[in-house]
Structure 1
Amino acid sequence: MFRMFRYFYGLVITILVLLFSIQLLTQDVPNKYERSINSPFISDSENNEDLITSTTQVIATKTMKPTTKRRTTKTKKFDKMTLPFWNLTFEEVATNYQQNFHKTSLTDAQLLLSNITEFESLVSEACDQHFTDPEDKNDCVLDYTMQRRQRILRESCSILYNNTKLPRYSYFDYYVLQARKLVWCPVFKAASSNWMENIVMMSAEPRYKIEMYRKEKRYDQPNTLARKIAPLLGESRYNTFIKNQPKPVTFIIVRDPIDRLISAYRDKLEKHMPYYYKTYGSKIVTKYRKEGLKRFGEAYYKANRSSGYLNPPPNRGGNEPTFWEFVRYVMDGGTRNEHWRPTNQLCSLCSKLVDFDIIIKFENLEQEESYFVRRLGLDTFIPKRWINPTKDLKTTHQEQREMYLSVLNEYELCRITKIYEKDYRLLGYEPPTPDGLNFKC
């Protein structure tokens, strides 16, 4: 009997608690402020709450009836106060480029002329017919040049893959400024540090937030700060964004593969950099130094602190790898690091989804970069700067290149060029090998 009483007593208590909870849930509770999906401005950062404050406040005051008198807040407009660096809207960036871009009147055959001199002559004649101002003529010539590079890339992709399945694009390598309709794929050792900073400058992030990020140790490198400003979208969101109209402007800066390889060696391994020495340099020396001593002799390694370079960097101790040792490492499959990984692997050059509007060549960087920002209407907002240069005023670029390549025999030069064969074919660079891309190695 006592057990039955306890059972019914517990059941009654449980029912009463449930009824009380249901009553509480059905009461009117003021809703929290939420971000509107129809917000007129898209933030580049998921945490950029300041850019959407005004929108959420307007929505909240229209949809909610506060029980107490609330202090009114003056709504911000999306103008120079919110966008401290420049005031073009995200529609204007894309459409400005599309409207100004001069469509070519040349045929596909003329665009793909192997004789670059003949192509330049045709382009100059075509642009002279439309423009008299020197700057307009220059932009017209570069419009044609960009279309030529697009055509070379498309044609080479179809030849290389010949109707086979094209490689997937690696969306996680791209930097996307949603608010500016811009997509950039960085090629390291091709003005990437410069453009990491430009991405920050072009973002819609308020200045005070950017300065706060700069003070944090985790954002003290250009790439980490740029990734904070332009976070990964994820594949689904990226696919939607890239297909939206007006179409985002996609661009890439490329460089001659061998020049890029030399630059990577000079910047990361020729001088002593603790991280790169520990991760790559020490292992390269362990594996290839004995063979190098047999080939070049002890005198070569003693001279210029083992560099083989006429002007070795002052912080080179002598245990760092030589250029020949580095090339041997790359020949044996050491291409994983992004600073010397082939460009086609970094940026999925043949993907169907990504069609680069602008392909800037590092060799003509100043002129083509200026043209690019002018075409988008950004020329008054992006300052000219040069971050992380590897310069040597004592020797010309051609002298440096010949000096480094002089340590390679014909077979090694052939092998290293073959590793970057797709880059040469897709980007229209002239290979350093005597037989071009007809490899005999």
Structure 2
Amino acid sequence: MGTWRSLRVAFILGSLFMLLLIIAYWDDIGGFSLYPFQDLKHDSLHSDCGSQRLSSDAALSASTIGARSGPSVSLPITSRIPLSPEDTAQTHPEEEQKKPPWENARKEGGRNRVLAGDGDQDVRKQMIADVCSGKTNVEFPGRTRVIEQIPYRELDHLIVDDTHQIIYCYVPKVACTNWKKVLVVLSQALISPSSGKPYIDPEAVPAELVHNSSLHLTFAKFWHHYGSLSRYLMALKLQRYTKFLFVRDPFVRLISAFRNKFGRPNEDFYKQFGSVMLRRFGNVSGSLPETAAEAFAAGIKPTFQQFIAYLLDPETEKDGIFNEHWRQVYRLCHPCQVKYDFIGHLETLEEDTERLLKILKVDHLLHFPSGAHNLTSTSWERDWFAQIPIATRKELYKLYEPDFEMFGYAKPDGLLQQELD
């Protein structure tokens, strides 16, 4: 009996010793930090960028999809990971005395905080922090929850590149086709039929293939890959990887989405969304044409007014059909839970991408694809909202107010306070 007890004591002491060794050296071999979520220290647009969910993914043969090694598995973190601003924010009296530039603009009745073209990343990050912490009195669902409370299905826009330690949240209608091309090249996920090797030039990657969901590892897939370890691995990667997203003026993004999906025949969007808009708000008598091509030929297609009415219809949200092309960025990318290291703006795309590629340390590997900057002109308010009642415009602004406030886009006062000729 004494020998057995001695063996048990020796085993326990040995286990404790090994645990101490792991704790002491794990950071040096790529494991987890005991101080999770410290700040990372970093000193052409295609018409569509949503994943192919309305129809089946384009078939990719084994010779087309490159062989990728699976993401490395790390040991789990046992402590709770604070990601919400409420969990991590600390207030210091001396900091409160330093008023950020957008505070003065708000008090002086100027434009809503700073212009979106301001490329200062500290300013952009602080605006997000202010909204998420409640300083701006802008409320929206999910503002105070932590990332562990977000269902996996809502994390499907966070693409992970383990090789280069990158996390990119793609926003449809904000240059994400080109950014997906960049990630396909970096991950060597797609084989060029001409060379038989992975694509090395983002320009050469077919745009119609980059939205195939099988090409990208997203947080939504972690449960299938890692099971019970998935949340821990997400926390590790959110701590260590460089996280970025690109945004644009919310109303201009809406216009872009409408033009692309309903301004020309699109069978999937016509059947799932366009026909619903026409039945609810189009006063269409009789049955609708079966296909988008037939509808357009007959002059039957959704208008921008019907599109806006559809977005504001409580039934739309109730049905759970708030498509990613017009879903708010705060719902796609969860900026109150994910502390992004870089926030790019479409309005400053060239400067931002050049700077970001250097931060990611991949500027020597590739160039960001060039393309026509299909930015809506300054007359978009008059052109698109002239037939929309002011009350409806105000309601629409309220729906997207968190995105306006969070990402520094000026409140369109002229649009919300007067009729347009």
TM-score w.r.t. structure 1 length?
0.55
Q: Which runs of 5+ in 2 are unaligned?
A: 1-28, 31-64, 71-93, 109-117, 200-206, 285-295
Answer whether contact 1:270 1:316 (CA < 8 A) is retained: no
Larger Rg: 1
Match of 1:330 in 2: 311
Match of 2:348 in 1: 364
Match of 1:397 in 2: 377
> What is the one-letter code of the residue matched to 2:332?
L
- What is the alpha-carbon distance in structure 1 between the residues aligned to residue 300 and residue 351 of structure 2? 40
For 1:60-139, list aligned pairs within 5 A: 109-114=98-103
Answer whether contact 2:244 2:341 (CA < 8 A) is retained: yes
- What is the alpha-carbon distance in structure 2 between the residues aligned to residue 286 and residue 316 of structure 1? 18
* Cα distance, 1:50–1:355 mapped onto 2, change above 3 Å: closer
Q: Secondary structure at the match of 1:340?
A: coil
Answer yes or no: is 1:149 the counterpart of 2:136.
Answer: no
Match of 2:275 in 1: 282
- What is the alpha-carbon distance in structure 2 between the residues aligned to residue 397 and residue 268 of structure 1? 19
Answer whether contact 1:112 1:151 (CA < 8 A) is retained: no
- CA offsets, 1:137-158, max 9 Å, x none? xxxx94xx11111111112111
Match of 2:390 in 1: 410
Answer whether contact 1:272 1:316 (CA < 8 A) is retained: no
- CA offsets, 1:389-423, max 9 Å, x none? 6848xxx6112343001121210110111111221
Answer yes or no: is 1:268 the counterpart of 2:268.
Answer: no
* Cα distance, 1:345–1:51 mapped onto 2, change above 3 Å: closer
1:166 positional shift = 4.7
Choose the corresponding residue for 1:228, options 212, 215, 236: 215
- What is the alpha-carbon distance in structure 1 between the residues aligned to residue 166 and residue 389 of structure 2? 43
Paired residues, what number?
284
Match of 1:122 in 2: none
1:356 positional shift = 0.4
* Cα distance, 1:424–1:272 mapped onto 2, change above 3 Å: same
* Cα distance, 1:432–1:366 mapped onto 2, change above 3 Å: same
Match of 1:182 in 2: 166
1:230 positional shift = 2.7
Choose the corresponding residue for 2:366, options 369, 382, 405: 382
> What is the one-letter code of the residue matched to 1:376?
L
1:210 positional shift = 4.6
> What is the one-letter code of the residue matched to 1:326?
F
Answer whether contact 1:176 1:230 (CA < 8 A) is retained: yes
Q: More helix by proportion, 1 or 2? A: 1
- What is the alpha-carbon distance in structure 2 between the residues aligned to residue 426 and residue 246 of structure 1? 22
Answer whether contact 2:304 2:384 (CA < 8 A) is retained: yes
- What is the alpha-carbon distance in structure 2 between the residues aligned to residue 249 and residue 110 of structure 1? 28
- What is the alpha-carbon distance in structure 1 between the residues aligned to residue 257 and residue 237 of structure 2? 36
Q: Secondary structure at the match of 1:252?
A: strand
Match of 2:175 in 1: 191
Answer whether contact 1:179 1:204 (CA < 8 A) is retained: no
For 1:205-244, list aligned pairs within 5 A: 205=189, 207=191, 208=196, 210=198, 220-224=208-212, 227-230=214-217, 232-234=221-223, 236-237=229-230, 239-243=232-236
* Cα distance, 1:247–1:50 mapped onto 2, change above 3 Å: closer
Q: CA RMSD in A?
A: 4.0
State percent identity of aligned pairs. 23
Q: Secondary structure at the match of 1:194?
A: helix
* Larger RCO (CA within 8 A; separation ≥ 6): 2
- CA offsets, 1:231-288, max 9 Å, x none? 5333843542543598200001111111111110011011111111111112211221
For 1:418-433, list aligned pairs within 5 A: 418-433=398-413
Q: Which runs of 5+ in 1 are unaligned?
A: 1-39, 42-46, 53-105, 119-140, 212-218, 292-314
Choose the corresponding residue for 1:247, options 240, 244, 269: 240
- What is the alpha-carbon distance in structure 1 between the residues aligned to residue 258 and residue 414 of structure 2? 24
Answer whether contact 1:182 1:248 (CA < 8 A) is retained: yes
Answer whether contact 1:424 1:430 (CA < 8 A) is retained: yes
> What is the one-letter code of the residue matched to 1:152?
M
Q: Secondary structure at the match of 1:153?
A: helix
- What is the alpha-carbon distance in structure 1 between the residues aligned to residue 413 and residue 68 of structure 2? 55
* Cα distance, 1:350–1:191 mapped onto 2, change above 3 Å: same
- What is the alpha-carbon distance in structure 2 between the residues aligned to residue 222 and residue 257 of structure 1? 24
* Cα distance, 1:385–1:435 mapped onto 2, change above 3 Å: closer
> What is the one-letter code of the residue matched to 2:172?
F
> What is the one-letter code of the residue matched to 2:278?
V
- What is the alpha-carbon distance in structure 1 between the residues aligned to residue 239 and residue 334 of structure 2? 23
Q: Secondary structure at the match of 1:179?
A: coil
> What is the one-letter code of the residue matched to 1:172?
D
* Cα distance, 1:115–1:271 mapped onto 2, change above 3 Å: farther
- CA offsets, 1:202-236, max 9 Å, x none? 1154854657xxxxxxx9532216x4243533384
